[in-house]
């Protein structure tokens, strides 16, 4: 079967080098809209999405993430936009982590389809469990009881995408 959605899913790759140029508003909105159409448990729409383009806050997020990782490098690979996803803690909503990851996946696929690069970045749970992280969440206007699920580094790729690694032969099974 050949269609544009399946082609994009096969071709999308994580980008780990970005141009400094900020993405266009319409591109960002297309990515965010893809996120809000991700499936969620019982249609609850539990996740919250925050797109950060303010250079001072981007630098703060870089510093926080790098500290948790124990590195001096930029864990967001120089992306000019960082899109954060938050959701309820699992004890409050049992599918919150899954819902948030589906939002991130949708946005990464939409980014590729829009000509952007993206990379899933971890450690947002640890970042936003700190006092500094909780203060940022307040600044973002988020409810107090959320946790960081993950983020995507988002921007224009600085290099050609590498081809996909071969898929393992026994990746899936069909049981009839």
Cα-based distances in Å from 78 to 21, 71, 150: 10, 14, 17
In a domain, 170, yes or no: no
Buried b / exposed e across 95-117, counting CB within 10 Å, b at 16+?
bbbbbbbbbbbbbbbbbbbbebb
pTM of the model: 0.95
Query: How far apart, in Å, do the first and last CA atoms of the chain sit?
Result: 21
Within a 10 A sphere around the Cβ of 78, how many other Cβ atoms?
16
Residue 118's H or E segment, with its range, is strand 117-121
**Residue 5 belongs to a domain:** no
**pLDDT band of 1, cuts 50, 70, 90:** low
Tell me whether residue 161 is in a domain. Answer: no
Q: How far apart are CA 18 and CA 64, in angstroms?
A: 20
Residue 100 clears pLDDT 70, i.e. is over it: yes
Please indicate, yes or no, if residue 2 is contained in any of the structural domains: no
- Ramachandran area for residue 45 (φ above 0: left; ψ -120 to 50: alpha; else beta): left
Domain span at residue 36 reads: 20-155
The CATH number for 108's domain is 3.40.109.10
Q: Is residue 31 part of a domain?
A: yes
Task: Report the number of distinct structural domains present in the chain.
Answer: 1
64 found inside a domain: yes
Quote the CA–CA distance of 68 and 78 in Å, as a whole number.
17
Mean pLDDT (the chain, rounded): 95
The residue length of the chain stands at: 176
Mean pLDDT for the stretch of residues 69-74: 96
**Quick check: is 55 in a domain?**
yes
Q: How confident is the model at residue 116 (pLDDT cuts 50, 70, 90)?
A: very high
Any domain includes 163 = no
């Amino acid at each position: 079967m050949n269609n544009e959605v399946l082609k994009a899913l096969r071709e999308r790759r994580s980008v780990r080098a970005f141009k400094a140029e900020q993405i266009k508003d319409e591109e960002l909105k297309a990515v965010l809209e893809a996120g809000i159409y991700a499936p969620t448990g019982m249609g609850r729409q539990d996740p919250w999405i925050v797109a950060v383009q303010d250079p001072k806050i981007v630098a703060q997020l870089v510093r926080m993430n790098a500290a948790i990782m124990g590195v001096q490098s930029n864990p967001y690979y120089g992306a000019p936009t960082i899109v954060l996803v938050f959701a309820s803690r699992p004890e409050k909503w049992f599918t919150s982590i899954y819902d948030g990851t589906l939002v991130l996946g949708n946005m990464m696929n939409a980014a590729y389809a829009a000509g952007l690069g993206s990379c899933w970045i971890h450690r947002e749970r640890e970042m936003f469990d700190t006092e500094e992280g909780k203060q940022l969440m307040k600044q973002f206007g988020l409810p107090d009881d959320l946790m960081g699920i993950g983020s995507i580094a988002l921007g224009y790729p600085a290099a050609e995408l590498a081809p996909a690694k071969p898929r393992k032969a026994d990746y899936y099974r069909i049981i009839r």
